Amino acid sequence: MDLHNIREDYSKQALSRKQCLADPLKQFEHWLNEAITAKVCEPTAMNVATVNEQGKPTSRVVLLKEVNEQGFVFFTNYHSQKGRALQHTPFTALNFFWGELERQVRIEGRVEKLPAVQSDEYFASRPYTSRVGAWASEQSAVISSKNVLLAKAAQIAAKHPLNVPRPPHWGGYIVIPEMIEFWQGRPSRLHDRIRYRLEKEHWVIERLSP
């Protein structure tokens, strides 16, 4: 299979320094709203990269559940591979790619667990089957077959037919950004890259070479 000649010449939009808002989180919200309006496939899907105890990087796609003035929120099993990695090294790199808009956003920052009350509130808003699944799945653990998972889910559902409490090993993280980069594809691979870098509690805005 020859992949050398697979390429796209991006030309839909440009990104100038003047177009960028002073606050990168507001700029992100603006781009996210445009991605949602454009009906981009899974606009809240983001790649979450972590470093494990052996110093090896791993990554996976997780759904963004909130962006606020502090940062980016997602939820997961604290005992999962990413949960263990974040316990050891509480930093991450996020990446959003919105191919239909020829855009991506890169984020780097430290990670903190959300307060239990916030995790409780979000967990209670999830569909019943998702709440059951959070108990049934020992995320990232090896299982002998799918039947093991289904049987455990049935046991949890029988125990909690109406209200499923949040498992203590499941909850939210907030990524507090130290760097956010907005990338807009341009012709001839001369892409527009605008980086926000936190320096002494102020955001420095810079254009990067592609």
Detail the residues annotated as belonging to a binding site for substrate.
7-10, 65, 122, 126, 130, 189-191
Burial of 157 (0-12, 13-18, 19+ CB in 10 A): middle
B/e letters for 7-25, b = 16+ CB within 10 Å, e = fewer, are eeebeeeebeeeebeeebb
Q: Which residue is associated with the tokens 């990524």? A: 175
Yes or no: say if 185 and 102 are a contact pair by the CB < 8 Å rule: yes
Separation CA 137–CA 125 (nearest Å): 19
189 is catalytic: yes
Q: Token pair of 108, please?
A: 């780097």
Active-site residue among 103, 189, 195, 197?
189
Name which of 88, 113, 100 is nearest 176 in CA terms.
113
Alpha helices in the chain (DSSP H): 24-37, 81-88, 116-125, 128-136, 146-159
Write out the binding residues for FMN.
60-65, 75-76, 82, 104, 139-140, 183, 193
Yes or no: say if 65 and 73 are a contact pair by the CB < 8 Å rule: yes
Write out the binding residues.
7-10, 60-65, 75-76, 82, 104, 122, 126, 130, 139-140, 183, 189-191, 193
Provide the annotated active-site residues.
Answer: 189
